[in-house]
């Protein structure tokens, strides 16, 4: 009989190995899925994971896209990982992302058409504040009334989406837009445009912020007392309380940071790659970032690589739907499966498998 035996210490080896194992398993099962959809599985996997980076035909377009897509994912996932480490389940990053985008774009459009170097920093601030404020709702309700933050933060995603629908055809609608819903294009308004820092690399200010966030989170978690308190709260809540960690403060810190980072990500997206507030400018980054956070082992460096990998599946998925006619929904399933296999293989970190005859001890 197969039986699990608890390890005395979590396995270092498996902590690193399971994300790779999960990716390989996803490729195998995904390949079977693509075969069932009538595509050559090897070609499909190559199109998703190889062609965006190395194909002569597409790489010139795809490589910059890698950073464009990874930027928001990493930024959001860094914020989420702090909360997940502390056992605070903020799954409403999508809502915080939308609110950040609305506030940031609103700030920029309020100044239209004046030109000043201060407008863009103000927009970043507004985006961060918008996301922060949206995340404060579950934080306050959790600390004050003990309300479940999972459900509240998720409900607020739907509220934010309704809000987005409202402003894109109301408050922020482009007055010169011939009646089409959607705001002015922020890319065409130089003071608010989130342009590439280095031409042709996809490296815009949001990506730069994401990299800074990675470094910041790394220092916070490994060198700062707050980071220690976050980890302690997650791993041993009682011990944390005895050690004088204020749980309310941790909730506010984790949700607030996650909200601010998600809000900034939304603002960078709407003033850069998306260009304008539209009813569906958000592409589910807030949810995919949850996968990124777990795939990156809730570790900042891990999240950096996981974000790049997830961005690759987005770009590769687009390419595959273009070249091979694989439905884009298949990629969503592909990403979900990745999380599933990761959680399944994570068992090896804390347990080892023993085979024995099965009689009770």
Partner 1 sequence: MDLSSINPVLLIASLMVSATPILLAALGELVVEKSGVLNLGVEGMMITGAICGFAIGVNTGSPVLGFMFAAICGALLSLAFGILTQYLLSNQVATGLGLTLVGLGLSSLIGKPYEGIKSPTLQKMELPILSDIPIVGPMLFSHDPMVYFSVALVAATWAVLKYSRAGLILRAVGESHDAAHALGYKVVRIRLLAILFGGACAGLAGAYISLVRVPQWTEGMTAGAGWIALAIVVFASWKPWRVLIGAYLFGGVTVLQLNLQAAGAKVPIEVLSMSPYLITIAVLVIISARGNHGAPAALGKIFHASR
Residue 335 contacts partner 1 per CB under 8 A: yes
Q: Whole-angstrom Cα distance, residue 131 to residue 99?
A: 6
CB of 284 to partner 1, least distance (A): 9
β-partners of residue 4 are 353
> In this chain, which of 21, 155, 203, 308 binds partner 1, going by CB under 8 A?
155
DSSP H stretches of helix in 196-345: 205-223, 225-235, 237-242, 247-271, 285-295, 300-323, 328-345
User: 132 or 334, CB closer to partner 1?
Assistant: 334
Question: Kind of pairing, strands 351-355 and 196-198?
Answer: unpaired
Element (H, E) at 1: none
Q: Determine if 166 is a binding residue for partner 1 (CB under 8 A).
A: yes
Rounded to whole angstroms, the Cα distance separating 147 from 360 reads: 43
Distances (CA, A) of 227 to 26, 31, 68, 236, 309: 33, 40, 28, 14, 26
Residue 327 as a binder of partner 1 (CB under 8 A): the answer is yes
With vertex at residue 344, the alpha carbon angle to CA 290 and CA 348, rounded to the nearest 5 degrees, is 115
Q: Single out the residue of 28, 60, 215, 343 in contact with partner 1 (rule: CB under 8 A).
A: 343
x/- binding map, residues 68-107, to partner 1, per CB under 8 A? ---------------------x-x----------------
Q: Which residues contact 77 (CB under 8 A, 6 or more apart)?
A: 289, 290, 292, 293, 296, 303, 306, 307
Site for partner 1 (CB under 8 A): which residue of 22, 258, 277, 291?
Answer: 291
Q: Provide the 3-class DSSP secondary structure of residue 204.
A: strand
Cβ-contact 341, 22 below 8 angstroms: yes
Minimum separation from the CB atom of position 170 to partner 1 (A): 8
Binding string, residues 134-153; x marks residues near partner 1 by CB under 8 A: -------x---xxxx-xxx-
Counting contacts by CB under 8 A, is residue 295 touching partner 1? no
Residue with Cβ nearer partner 1 (176 or 359): 359
Q: Does 350 bind partner 1 (CB under 8 A)?
A: yes
Residue 216 burial by Cβ neighbours in a 10 Å radius (0-12, 13-18, 19+): middle
Radius of gyration in angstroms for the set of CA atoms belonging to the chain, rounded to a whole number: 22
- What is the three-class DSSP state of 169? coil
Give the range of 51-59, 113-121, 123-131, 289-297 binding partner 1 by CB under 8 A. Answer: 289-297
Nearest distance from residue 343's CB to partner 1, in Å? 4
Q: Is 340 in the site for partner 1 (CB under 8 A)?
A: yes
Q: In the set 29, 122, 159, 323, which binds partner 1 (CB under 8 A)?
A: 159
Out of 34, 58, 120, 287, the only residue in the binding site for partner 1 (CB under 8 A) is 287
Look-up of token digits 């600390």: 143
Residue 332 interacts with partner 1 (CB under 8 A): yes or no: yes
Among 165, 208, 226, 279, binds partner 1 (CB under 8 A): 165
**According to the binding rule CB under 8 A, does residue 154 interact with partner 1?**
yes
Q: Is 218 in the site for partner 1 (CB under 8 A)?
A: no
Please choose, out of 49-57, 119-127, 264-272, 286-294, the segment that lies near partner 1 by the rule CB under 8 A: 286-294
DSSP per-residue string spanning 41-60 = HHHHHHHHHTHHHH-TTTHH
Structure tokens at 29: 């099962």
Question: Which residues, in sequence order, are bridge partners of residue 353?
Answer: 4
What residues make contact with partner 1 under the rule CB under 8 A? 4, 6, 89, 91, 141, 145-148, 150-152, 154-159, 162-163, 165-166, 287, 290-291, 294, 327, 329-337, 339-340, 343-344, 346-347, 350-351, 360-361
């Amino acid at each position: 009989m197969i039986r699990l035996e608890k390890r005395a210490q979590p396995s270092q080896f498996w902590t690193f190995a399971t994300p790779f194992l999960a990716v390989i398993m996803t490729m195998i099962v995904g390949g079977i899925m693509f075969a069932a959809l009538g595509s050559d599985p090897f070609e499909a996997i190559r199109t998703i994971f190889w062609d965006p980076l190395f194909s002569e035909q597409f790489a010139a377009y795809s490589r910059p896209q890698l950073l464009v897509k990874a930027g928001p994912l990493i930024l959001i996932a860094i914020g989420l990982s702090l909360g997940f480490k502390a056992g605070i389940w903020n799954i409403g990053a999508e809502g915080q992302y939308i609110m950040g985008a609305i506030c940031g774009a609103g700030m920029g459009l309020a100044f239209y058409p004046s030109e000043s170097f201060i407008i863009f920093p103000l927009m970043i601030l507004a985006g961060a504040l918008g996301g922060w404020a949206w995340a404060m709702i579950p934080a306050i309700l959790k600390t004050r009334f003990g309300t479940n933050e999972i459900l509240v933060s998720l409900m607020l995603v739907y509220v934010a989406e309704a809000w987005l629908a409202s402003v894109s055809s109301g408050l922020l609608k482009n007055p010169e837009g011939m009646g089409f819903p959607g705001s002015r294009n922020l890319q065409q308004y130089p003071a608010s445009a989130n342009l590439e820092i280095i031409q042709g690399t996809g490296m815009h200010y949001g990506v730069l912020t994401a990299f800074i966030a990675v470094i910041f989170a790394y220092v916070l978690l490994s060198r700062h007392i707050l980071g220690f308190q976050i980890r302690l709260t997650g791993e041993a809540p009682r011990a944390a309380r005895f050690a004088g960690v204020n749980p309310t403060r941790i909730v506010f810190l984790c949700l607030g940071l996650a909200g601010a980072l998600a809000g900034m990500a939304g603002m960078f997206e709407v003033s850069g790659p998306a260009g304008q507030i539209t009813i569906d400018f958000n592409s589910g980054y807030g949810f995919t970032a949850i996968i990124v956070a777990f795939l990156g082992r809730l570790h900042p460096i891990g999240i950096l690589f996981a974000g790049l990998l997830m961005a690759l599946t987005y770009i590769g998925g687009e390419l595959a739907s273009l070249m091979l006619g694989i439905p884009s929904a298949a990629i969503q399933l592909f990403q979900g499966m990745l999380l599933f296999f990761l959680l399944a293989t994570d068992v090896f970190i804390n347990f080892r498998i023993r085979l024995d005859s099965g009689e009770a001890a």
